[in-house]
Amino acid sequence: METIDKIKQQISENHILLYMKGSPKLPSCGFSSQAAQALMNCGEKFAYVDILQNPDIRAELPAYAQWPTFPQLWVEGELVGGCDIIIEMFQKGELQPLIKEAAERNAPAAE
């Protein structure tokens, strides 16, 4: 699978997705740590991709996203932004409803 196709698939299959260095529990950079912490504080599950384990994605994603840095938060197929934007939205109370609503819209229907 081409790297761009892999990125598109990850973004389409995960309604809340963080591309970061490391993992939420063991981040490998301060910016990724702050972004993951803000997301965890929203209280919803989210997917992540460790770009250090995926050098192809690390190389291709900035061009695809037209965003040069990591972390990158994607919600329902749209790039939200990087660390500064994530933290600013969290502090303003804008991130929490965005994440909560995305999780609710994409929750499996109760039978």
Q: Map out the domains of the chain with their CATH numbers.
A: 3-105 (3.40.30.10)
- Percentage of the chain with pLDDT > 70? 97
Per-residue pLDDT at 110: 60
Residue 105 marked in a binding site: no
Per-residue pLDDT at 108: 76
Residue 42 marked in a binding site: no
Residue 56 marked in a binding site: no
- Residue-wise pLDDT for 5-52, tens only, equals 999 999 999 999 999 999 999 999 999 999 999 999 999 999 999 999
Residue 84 marked in a binding site: yes
Q: Using CA atoms, how far apart are residues 11 and 74, in angstroms rounded to an integer?
A: 7
Q: Using CA atoms, how far apart are residues 71 and 9, in angstroms rounded to an integer?
A: 18
Q: Is 42 left (phi over 0), alpha (psi -120 to 50) or beta?
A: alpha
CA angle (75 as vertex; 11, 108 as ends), nearest 5: 85
Written as one letter, the residue type at 35 is A
